[in-house]
Structure 1
């Protein structure tokens, strides 16, 4: 937090929000937990460094083409916040999370030297996610907290942006990226593609902020919802409710019984001063606004299931492979995910391959 304040990415005077009760203090961890968790962060740091290097290769390639100054780059650092899906101990194989299991420290330690390698699908412990989302309380999946929605972003476009190394504090959302690109490229929003009418783009261009650090915010209202965790931002105020933590297998209570909180983000960056009791009328106003936005953007009915939502048949949404019993794939179709393939799990199936073997091959 002190470093964030020094860099200016967090306002002066920001206070660290309390961590969730389920997260242990580092000093209270066992020796084995500390050993494992240290290794998990080493692996994550290696991943982050590797990612940065590979992004750097892309930037270098554009620069070698002589086009870097004329290329608008958005580098968004995060995925709805750091992930707490590893649970209290982290995981050797993240598929255990999707099956509602929590791996034990002693079992993960057996894979100490292979974590981060090609034979693992590991995940760090939830405590690291909370630390990674400093100064906020919550993490990815918790759309009711800035820890689950707020990410850093770097913009680079030397030919058009004269500011160098400056900060911007205007409130914006990821849906604003597409409108920004369209405005920057002087392109109209497409109304139809190949004769198919397009859904209007909801975002607001943030191009104006590139040239004026003190410009007034243009994105005034935004709803959030993931797995029943929901919030509404409007003109500096945030109303939110926690429905389920990422490491919990089921919601804490029915949706209608969730307790809402209220924050003034203009004076409370880390969301630690709940003003719901002090300003009940404002809270009610924002709750009504959430419902209005939820209707407008097809959020209702709110579905607080988790794994079921991954299955289109259970979730009740269209599926390209629904009802198909056969599928032909051709040479070059590599790296296909199971979402673009018929489901062959837990059922009898036949795979037939036509192979051409060049003369003289073994």
Structure 2
């Protein structure tokens, strides 16, 4: 009987399901997405900042002069990844908040598949390295959900950070779906950009070892050049005198080089100085020296990133992958205005209403770019970075949305060093790549019916310099700033926050004749303006842009309150891992209490709980037989109490922050509920605690207070209990005033 069964099954033919096969000759795709880099900052776009590796890609391929983004990072990434407009997919603004409307959820909807999800069924391996920032940051904690993380959106591997920015020496890192410690420190020579390049090379080398003939998609998104501007000191000093002539002369020189290159028309001119920017000569010598150094840190960060991108490109050559790899280099928006008029050495103090006076900036000038700085350059250098365009990131004038785009594919792009002037937009990248690869967007992904792609392929423009630009209009909106481009014309409105949208003045430019948006034709051609403004409203309704919302700080406050709900007690037990900052207790502008349940044996020291890093945060710790609590907002405010007579055994060590209606906050230390020290805390957390998260029993790699990290607690820590009170004051307006750089 058993023999008959075996014979019956043996007669069947074995079968192996056919593995997904890419189209013949399908290229590898390497997308390199910079952060906050202006239109003119690459060498091949007119700058004297050293970017030889990006420049060699341009020489072997194409540059676009008419590529546009969305004015912010989360939003551009959503459009680039999906081929749909950012409001359409639910990322109308930053991933850091959810406004409760379909266009503003802060998370890419399932109906909008990502490029990785589209290519993986065609045999592509997919790798994500660097900044993600298209999932609500309150979903980046230990309970997720992780469905919006890179591995949940089609990538096979992920190594990078989830939020808008991170410290380059002590980054908040995730490997696949798990937070990991920082691999090094400033003292050890670690820098995140180098680490990301190492990991990109690792993924590519593993790919070649496993299946060299399979194509790959790699999305490499370094933190450069988003603040904090951190780079090796020798490189910062290399650029210290490089820009001593100032931003006025530098803008003129960049425009002249752009004209020589053929990037901009001969009639292009630099616009008048942006609002609140003074001529270089109007600043004193100390100011000019500071501004040069801050620009030097930015330039060094870009130079440094280019060097490590070169290592990745060199590996492609070594592994015989370069010929059939389509490499794309771009920025997510224009250069940032968040350094304000004078720039910052450590912006975290001003974000919490602690002024950073010019004298302090000058005193700390040699710290710029180092581990205890959160540096950002002033308006003038951001304006220069966007040469020859108006305004900045966040704005819908050219400085916010017209960005560099370099493409090189030796096997597939015949052009060598050519320029394309057609209008294109971030939303057009996915249709273009699908076109070049030879696949179509799926109707269904993981059982979810997909919305149509909203971008248009510009593959024909890659092949032919005289190919037409896309035919459909492209709208823009960010924080109430609005714009629309159609058939060579642009209508744009700058929106002062807090004012009525109906009061905004729309401007009209003929982009085909006016690259820099200087000649406003709204009074001369009111019918054309009305046509475009009406078209904007149609597009806005179609793509979930409405209702308009110009609030900045209040949306962050709402998100924090919604996440918190009725919860007032947070318990962190021994063995807990790292908590990202957006899932930690909200201690801003309120009273609270921290209780550390410990067992001491005598002579114990170390961190009980720490949230933040050397630029900003708080730490509760034992050192030199004393209990300390430090609120660091660019200034250490330490309350201390000696514990020489404290007996060994179990104790509760506590810190209370007591907010008062008038006068400074009170910081109180307690041992077993008995007060042992009290001090005034002049500067508390008003808007932001830190980009770095929270740990118990140690401080990760960038110490909040005056001790060497990780300064592990040598006693027994059972748990930390944080209790917050309901007396929080409104910090939202302050956040709006300082233009908090969480994007």
- The answer on 1:308 being equivalent to 2:550 is no
Shift of 1:94: 2.9
Aligned to 1:242: 494
What is the CA deviation profile of residues 19-46 of structure 1, one whole-angstrom value per residue up to 9, with x for unaligned ones?
1241100011011110100111111111
What is the CA deviation profile of residues 234-256 of structure 1, one whole-angstrom value per residue up to 9, with x for unaligned ones?
11110011113xxxxx44x3211
Aligned to 2:387: 134
Shift of 1:313: 2.7
What is the CA deviation profile of residues 135-165 of structure 1, one whole-angstrom value per residue up to 9, with x for unaligned ones?
122111111x111100111101111111111
- The answer on 1:227 being equivalent to 2:479 is yes
Residue pair 1:89, 1:103 contacting (<8 A) in 2 also:
no
Aligned to 2:514: 268
Of the three residues 166, 175, 178, the one matched with 2:430 is 178
Residue pair 1:309, 1:315 contacting (<8 A) in 2 also:
no
Aligned to 1:68: 322
Residue pair 1:239, 1:286 contacting (<8 A) in 2 also:
yes
**197 and 122 in structure 1: CA distance in 2 versus 1, 3 angstrom threshold:** same
**SS at 1:10's partner residue?**
coil
Aligned to 1:111: 364
**19 and 148 in structure 1: CA distance in 2 versus 1, 3 angstrom threshold:** same
Residue pair 2:572, 2:696 contacting (<8 A) in 1 also:
no
Shift of 1:333: 7.3
- For residues 91 and 266 of structure 1, the distance between their equivalents in structure 2, rounded to whole angstroms, comes to 38
- For residues 188 and 331 of structure 1, the distance between their equivalents in structure 2, rounded to whole angstroms, comes to 48
Matched ranges for 1:50-61 at <5 A: 50-61=304-315
Shift of 1:205: 1.4
Residue pair 1:176, 1:203 contacting (<8 A) in 2 also:
yes
What is the CA deviation profile of residues 218-237 of structure 1, one whole-angstrom value per residue up to 9, with x for unaligned ones?
25311111111111111111
Shift of 1:58: 1.6
**126 and 100 in structure 1: CA distance in 2 versus 1, 3 angstrom threshold:** farther
Higher share in strand? 2
Aligned to 2:294: 40
The runs of 5 or more residues in structure 1 that have no matched partner are 245-249, 355-362
**SS at 2:387's partner residue?**
coil
The CA RMSD over aligned residues, in Å, is: 3.0
Aligned to 1:247: none
- For residues 489 and 560 of structure 2, the distance between their equivalents in structure 1, rounded to whole angstroms, comes to 36
Shift of 1:209: 1.2
- The answer on 1:157 being equivalent to 2:409 is yes
- The count of corresponding residues between Structure 1 and Structure 2 is 344
Shift of 1:186: 1.8
**SS at 1:73's partner residue?**
strand
Structure 1 stretches of 4+ moved >4 Å: 96-102, 321-334, 346-354
Residue pair 1:82, 1:148 contacting (<8 A) in 2 also:
yes
Report which structure shows greater RCO (CA 8 Å, sep ≥6).
Answer: 2
**SS at 2:419's partner residue?**
coil
- For residues 324 and 576 of structure 2, the distance between their equivalents in structure 1, rounded to whole angstroms, comes to 34
Shift of 1:337: 4.0
- For residues 594 and 453 of structure 2, the distance between their equivalents in structure 1, rounded to whole angstroms, comes to 42
**110 and 8 in structure 1: CA distance in 2 versus 1, 3 angstrom threshold:** same
Aligned to 1:213: 465
Aligned to 1:360: none
- For residues 298 and 330 of structure 1, the distance between their equivalents in structure 2, rounded to whole angstroms, comes to 45
Shift of 1:99: 4.7
Residue pair 1:223, 1:231 contacting (<8 A) in 2 also:
yes
Residue pair 2:345, 2:365 contacting (<8 A) in 1 also:
no
Shift of 1:63: 2.2
Q: Highest Rg: 1 or 2? A: 2
- For residues 297 and 465 of structure 2, the distance between their equivalents in structure 1, rounded to whole angstroms, comes to 37
- For residues 187 and 326 of structure 1, the distance between their equivalents in structure 2, rounded to whole angstroms, comes to 49
Aligned to 2:200: none
**SS at 1:224's partner residue?**
strand
**323 and 298 in structure 1: CA distance in 2 versus 1, 3 angstrom threshold:** farther
What is the CA deviation profile of residues 103-148 of structure 1, one whole-angstrom value per residue up to 9, with x for unaligned ones?
33222222211111121111000110111111122111111x1111
TM-score after normalising by structure 2: 0.43
The runs of 5 or more residues in structure 2 that have no matched partner are 1-254, 596-608, 610-694, 698-743
Residue pair 2:560, 2:586 contacting (<8 A) in 1 also:
no
Matched ranges for 1:11-30 at <5 A: 11-30=265-284
